[in-house]
Amino acid sequence: KALCNDFDFIQFIKFLDTVDSTNSEAKRIAMEEQVLEGLIVSSEQTKGKGRLGRQWESEKESGLWMSLLLRPKVKPEAASSITLVSAAAMAHAIEACTSLNVGIKWPNDLIVNGKKICGILTEMSAEINQLHYIVLGIGVNLGQMSFPVDIIDKATSLKKEGVEVSGKKILSAFLLAFSNFYSQYLEGDMSQIISYHLAHSVTVGKKVQIITPIETRNAYVLDINADGSLLVENELGENEVVFSGEVSVRGI
C-alpha cells in the first residue's frame, strides 16, 4: 500500500542481505506482479551490474545498492530521461547529507573530487508505444576505503572523501528529492531537472570523447536539451544531438 501521497510510487520496500543484483530482482518482481511499483535495497550484490555490460563492485555494507521498479504512464521514448531525474535527486541527497560538492557527468554518473561516487543503470521493458516498466538501479559508494586496481583512479566513496553517513540517511533524502522531481517528470516538466543538471554538470562546456559501439569522436559539449539529450559541437563545427543509450562520455 502507498506510504503516503508523496511516495505513491512505493507500494513495497524489500530489504535484502544479499542478492545477485537489485536490478535483476526488480525485473523478476516486475514479471510476477503486473502492476506493482516499489523499492529493493540490498546490503550486498554478488553480480552487481554497471552500464554497457560492466561489473559493478558492490561488497557487503559498503554502499547503498538499490533499484526502484516504476511504471510511469509515459511514452517509451520519454523513459530514458528518468535517469536524469534520479541523478539530480541523488546529487541533491548527497549534498543535503554531507558538505561535499557533487558533479553530474551526463547522463548518469555522480562525481566527487573528479571520481565516481554513484552510478545509475536504467533498464526497461517496452513495446512500440507501450512502456511496461522501468528499473532504476542506483549504486552509491559509502564505506569502501579501497577499490580494485583497474578502477582505483576512477572510483571514490563517501568515506574516502572523509564523510561517514548511513545508507538510510542518503536513502530518505533521495526519496524526498526524487518524489519531487519525479512528479515534475510525470507532468512532462523537465525544466527544474535540467536546470539542476546544468548547475552541477561536469560535462557541459568541456571537450569530451563520445564513445559509441562503432566509433570514438571528439566533441565540445554545448548544452543539455529539454528532453535530456546532449547538444554537442562535432569536429566539423556542426551541432549534433547525443542520446544516452550506448554512449560513454570521457574526458572530464
| Rounded-to-integer distance, Cα 91 and Cα 44, Å | 22
Classify the C-alpha dihedral 196-190-180-114 as positive or negative: negative
C-alpha cell at 221: 559539449
21 part of the interface to ligand BTN, by CB under 6 A:
yes
21 binds, among ligand ATP, ligand BTN, none (CB under 5 to 8 A by kind): ligand BTN
The alpha helices in the chain, defined as continuous H runs, are 22-32, 76-79, 82-97, 167-186, 191-200
- Give the one residue of 10, 39, 43, 65 binding ligand BTN; rule: CB under 6 A: 65
CA distances from 240 to 157, 207, 223, 227, 231 (A): 34, 14, 11, 14, 6
The answer to the question of residue 154 lying near ligand BTN (CB under 6 A) is no
Residue 248 sits in the site that holds ligand ATP (CB under 6 A): yes
Partner that binds at residue 207, options ligand BTN, ligand ATP, none, CB closer than 5 to 8 Å by kind: none
Cell of 233: 559541437
Residue 167 or 232 with smaller CB distance to ligand BTN:
167
DSSP labels for 194-239?
HHHHHHHBSSTTSEEEEE-SS-EEEEEEEEE-TTSPEEEEETTS-E
Q: Is 50 in the site for ligand BTN (CB under 6 A)?
A: yes
Examine residue 49 and tell whether it contacts ligand BTN (CB under 6 A).
yes
Residue sitting closest to ligand BTN (CB):
119
Contact 203, 106 (CB under 8 A): yes
Ramachandran sector of residue 61 (left: φ over 0; alpha: ψ -120 to 50; beta: rest): left
Residue 137 partner contact from ligand BTN, ligand ATP, none using kind-dependent CB cut-offs of 5 to 8 Å? ligand BTN
Instruction: State yes or no: residue 57 binds ligand ATP (CB under 6 A).
Output: yes
Choose the contact partner of 81 out of ligand ATP, ligand BTN, none; CB within 5 to 8 A by kind: none
86 binds, among ligand ATP, ligand BTN, none (CB under 5 to 8 A by kind): none
Angle between helices 82-97 and 191-200 (to 10 degrees): 60
Among 43, 80, 141, 244, binds ligand ATP (CB under 6 A): 141
Helix (H, G, I), strand (E, B) or coil at 142: coil
From the CB of 224, what's the least distance to ligand ATP, in Å?
15
Could you tell me the smallest distance in angstroms from the CB atom of residue 199 to ligand ATP? 20
Binding site for ligand BTN (CB under 6 A): 21-23, 45, 48-51, 54, 56, 58, 65-67, 108-109, 119-121, 137-139
Binding site for ligand ATP (CB under 6 A): 50-52, 54, 56-57, 108-109, 116, 119, 141, 151, 154-155, 248-250
